[in-house]
Chains A and B, each alone.
Chain A
Amino acid sequence: MSNDIHFLAEFADGAPARSALELAAGAADLAQQSGGAAVALAYGHGAADGAAGLGAAGAARAIVLGDGTAPAITHAAAAAATVREAAPAAVLAPATPNGRDLAAALVGLLDLPAFGPVRAVRVEGGALRTEQATLQGTFITVSEPVDGAPQPAVVLVLANTFTPIEGGSGSAEVSRAAATDAGALGKATVVESHPADAAVVNLEEATVIVAGGRGVGSEEGFKPLQELADALGGAVGASRAAADAGWIPYQLQIGQTGKVVKPALYLAAGISGAIQHRVGMQSSENVVAINKDPDAPIGEFADLFVVGDLVQIVPRLTEEIKRRKG
């Protein structure tokens, strides 16, 4: 058993995902508390060449589980063998579909305790403590592994829980995971890939989000929201109603079954604020809502609630922001 903190570092299109940089910073911080080192478990397209670069993000070492575009879950056996051998104090995983798949496989293959998705994690007197929002955000709970629980703990971490280290230097010491039989989990293969014509923003990375809901009314109705987002230096998101209506890709859906976001500013236009939407954005630092309905639930938890017509307000707000920014 070591005091090291492992983290899953996903690569895509030749570069580390934002989640890898956030978890590198988080693992480095936790490793300081535990008296160990931050170690990346790197996988995905670009992992072999890019793993050393995680040193600047906070990793002391990086172990490459595998490169290429195979589904993340196919690296599960390599991850489990690595974790079993190294016996770290904790494994951090991003609370994304791929991160959850790999985390779940570690839990199943090694019988490990699982936590999260957490909004904070720390080591207190040698013990791991996690903090998460539960019951649709009505409670904050603090948890730990039971005495005698198998180690390490697997911790799912929400996007934007940790801030990537800027201007870091140094490179991580890279090794390759020992060859393992990928087992049944290795049998999933991508047989067709259908990327969209245009790239879609990763909302988890946006510091400003302008989100539209049913009240936006149409695909066309999202254009003024995009213009407002552009003026604010942010991205457009949507409620499930807008994604289901086909006005916007599902990748931009925010909520229980979409992305969980935590921007500095969340501006919701025409979104009523159903609980399923709320759980995807309730950690935003500042929430502004514009809605025609004075009784919309979002009026109960927004910081600023404007009762009015988004069609009238949004374009004028864009102009005003451009004017003030000069």
Chain B
Amino acid sequence: MKIVVCIKQVPATTAEKRYTDDLRLDRTSAESVINPLDEYAVEMALKLAESGAVDSVAYLSMGPDSAAEALRRALAMGGDEAYLVTDPALAGADEWATARVLAAALDKLAPDVALMGMASDDARGSLVPGAVAAMRDLPLLSYGAELMLADGAARIRRLSASGFDIIEAPLPVVASVTDQVGEPRYASLKGIMAARRKPLETWSLADIGVDPGSLHGGAVTRMLEAKPPEAKAPTERVENVGADEAVAKIADWLAARKLI
């Protein structure tokens, strides 16, 4: 049983971010990390490996050369090997192009489960898992609070309107998991040392059989403008007052806005 976890390198959550003049995310200005929500997918895969349900865990990323750092960091948490698809034609790739590339690389790796995080910090469309499943003609099990593998099938526990459902599909599948799978482990010093010796292979588009000409220049969407949000009125602060005075202030504030 083989899992490939797809990870994305993103600017750190708390880093100041900006767009370049040609309206791409400036990836040089901020510290880069594994997309925090992908770390939960890594954790889920490693838990399954520890339980014996999975024999091998590999990582796959698409990005610039520097995305190899994110793959090394994942390997330091655990797992066996990593693959980076990098190609000049992929700068500024959108969700559709990303899904195309990951789908082609996953076809080559042919895992039982292609596992992803529920969203990326810097895009938040959450469309890549479903688009990859559709492109590869595989079942999709998305937003799992847990992933289980048994008897040739995968199952997820997924929140329903009030409780949860167990959803099942025959392997192979594409799956995504949420931050409810449990906190991701830290890489140990031993893990970091071991990661240096684990195989990390770099692939171009040609290596995965994708014709760059088929990618519409890496995107079928285009950003026209990036502007700061509308300026808000400054925060009104109420402090150093007793509870009764604070309550009167809040009630007056709400009444002035016709909220009560």
Contact = CB atoms under 8 A, between A and B. Distances in A.
Query: Are A and B physically bound partners?
Result: yes
B242 to A, nearest CB: 8
Contacts of B222: 143-146
Nearest to B169: A188
A114 B125 contact: yes
A312 B241 CA distance: 12
A240 B40 CA distance: 15
Given A97-B143, A108-B133, A321 B166 contact: no
A275 to B, nearest CB: 6
Interface residues of B, number: 92
Contacts of B240: 307
Interface residues of A, number: 95
Interface stretch (A22-30, A197-205, A214-222): A197-205
A324 B145 CA distance: 43
A185 interface: yes
A184 B236 CA distance: 54
Contacts of B14: 275
Interface stretch (B41-49, B56-64, B212-220): B212-220
Contacts of A251: 159, 161-162
Contact of A275 (B13, B96, B118, B233): B13
Interface string B109-137: 00000000011011111111111111101
Contacts of A100: 125-127, 130, 142
B38 to A, nearest CB: 12
Interface stretch (B72-80, B83-91, B197-205, B243-251): B243-251
Interface stretch (A84-92, A148-156, A170-178): A148-156
Contact of A324 (B166, B238, B255): B255
B235 interface: yes
Contact of B224 (A71, A117, A144): A144
B169 to A, nearest CB: 5
Contact of B166 (A105, A109, A191, A202): A191
Interface in A91-117: 97, 100-109, 111-117
A110 B142 CA distance: 20
B260 interface: yes
Contacts of A1: none
Nearest to A17: B161
Interface in B1-38: 13-14, 17, 19, 23, 25, 37
Contact of A288 (B19, B160, B179, B253): B253
Nearest to B238: A306
A90 B100 CA distance: 21
B259 A114 contact: no
- Main secondary structure on A side of the interface with B: mixed
A184 B138 contact: yes
Contact of B257 (A112, A153, A286): A286
Contacts of B226: 134, 139-142
Contact of A257 (B178, B217, B233): B178
Contacts of A198: 162
Nearest to A148: B216
A15 interface: no
Contacts of A276: 13
Interface of A: 12, 71, 73, 76, 97, 100-109, 111-117, 129, 133-146, 148-150, 153, 156, 183-185, 187-196, 198-200, 202, 208, 232, 240, 249-251, 256-257, 264-265, 275-276, 279, 286, 288, 290, 294, 299-309, 312-313, 316-317, 320-321, 324-325
